[in-house]
Amino acid sequence: MTAKTFDAIIIGAGQAGPPLAGRLAAAGMSVALIERKLVGGTCVNTGCMPTKAMVASAYAAHLARRAADYGVTLSGPVGVDYKMIKARKDKVSNDARTNLESWIGGMDKCTLYRGHARFETANTVRVGEDLLSAEKIFLNTGGRASVPDLPGVNDISYLTNSSMMDLDVLPRHLVVVGGSYISLEFAQMFRRFGSDVTVIEKSPRLIDREDEDVSDAILSIFENEDIKVHLGAGDISFAKQGNDIAVTYSAGKAPAVGSHVLLALGRTPNTDDLDLDKAGVEVDKRGFIVVDDQLRTSVPGIWAMGDCNGKGAFTHTSYNDYEIVAANLLDNDPRKVSDRIEAYALYIDPPLGRCGMTEAAVRKSGRRALVGERPMTRVGRAVEKGETQGFMRILVDADSREILGCSVLGPGGDEAIHCVLDLMYAKAPVSTLARAMHIHPNVSELLPTIAQELKPLV
């Protein structure tokens, strides 16, 4: 057994771990960075980077099939080479991981340990034969796909977002169980690759945390691409049917029979095998590590960042967690989680960009509000691109004139949303947006126009 003392231990080399290691090492601290699987975490290996590489391939196939709409002729039908799609995706992911490993390897005063970390005391962690101790410990252990105990689920071979990345054949018929963000990206992606796709969702609408008309618009987008969607699906169960898998739902309805089944039913934090009880670290009933507004756990000297703390489930929230911790520890800057504004994107085509409050949340708050909307059919850039599905909406406090939230479902929605997000952080009145001169032609140029046409939310 080797015992060694560091100034800081970081468990998990996802989005928050390596940059924090870099800041701490640059400040003169000795750092142990522990990773039991792949450096880069979910984003680099099974999440953002590989899936968005595949989304790009799916978009190319979709646009090629629409070539005639743009006056472009092709000599034959459009096909896809799924092995090449996977190889491209793998290269994007592998290159990012290799670059990250090289950066970590070049850090002075940082040692990368490979293995499964477990607490022995509040300041001692075991990794294989190594016993490491530090006054400061940072948890960045991420999460994994939840697999609920549904009837028959253990009798079939199912896929999760992670194992989808290893799939080397194109499914004949992909049945996606779940109707939220991850599931919708995979559903559209594989439909565009050529698979038949069926989505089964227990809620009465897709992505039910969004406003109802956003859910309806996304359903319409899917139906236009011949993706079958079954909503309000209760009593979900699974059974083998020859070489296929039958997914039964809602008594009396015919099962969906597919060659492959993807379970996309939420995420579970990777906290159940760290022996947190030995350190006295508190977790909630779902397994998320309990933290305060500056990401400190119930134990002095231990912090939790990223998906394992339940404060966000995105790469950008994980990275922001690192920024908050580093600001407080190293910069005498009292940043906190409650300062940030909820913001994210759904990477279907067209994408949805979202920040702040939904219309439903504004109504529930009881405040006086203003709203401005415009369909993509009235956005010149969308018309020019032949991509007019979706709409944009801005919500404003009628008294303070500060922007409360925004939704942009349409081409470039994941980028355009930042025009509004930055103003919200600046607490600028909506008149700042209304007076801005944006570049024409662009989707974003309609945001000032909408800001000039606000009406009471009734």
410-446, pLDDT tens digit by residue? 999 999 999 999 999 999 999 999 999 999 999 999 9
Q: Which residue spans within 305-447 are E strands per DSSP?
A: 343-346, 352-356, 369-375, 391-397, 403-409
Closest by CA position to 302, among listed 143, 144, 141: 141
Set 230, 260, 418, 440: catalytic member: 440
Q: Does the pLDDT of residue 175 top 90, yes or no?
A: yes
CATH number at 2-144+268-339: 3.50.50.60
Q: H helices within 174-254, ranges in order? A: 181-193, 212-224
183-205, pLDDT tens digit by residue? 999 999 999 999 999 999 999 99
The fold for domain 153-265 equals FAD/NAD(P)-binding domain (3.50.50)
User: Cβ distance 245 to 257 under 8 Å?
Assistant: yes
Same CATH topology for 2-144+268-339 and 344-456? no
The strand pairing partners of 244, in sequence order, are: 241
Domain ranges of the chain: 2-144+268-339, 153-265, 344-456
pLDDT of residue 22: 97
Q: Does the pLDDT of residue 289 top 70, yes or no?
A: yes
Tokens of 226: 């011949």
The band of 261, judged by pLDDT with boundaries at 50, 70 and 90, is very high
313-330, pLDDT tens digit by residue? 899 999 999 999 999 999
Q: Give the span between the Cα atoms of 450 and 205, in whole angstroms.
A: 27
Q: Annotated catalytic, 440?
A: yes
Q: Give the span between the Cα atoms of 248 and 322, in whole angstroms.
A: 43
68-109, pLDDT tens digit by residue? 999 999 999 999 999 999 999 999 999 999 999 999 999 999
pTM above 0.75, yes or no: yes
Q: What architecture is the 344-456 domain classified under in CATH?
A: 2-Layer Sandwich (3.30)
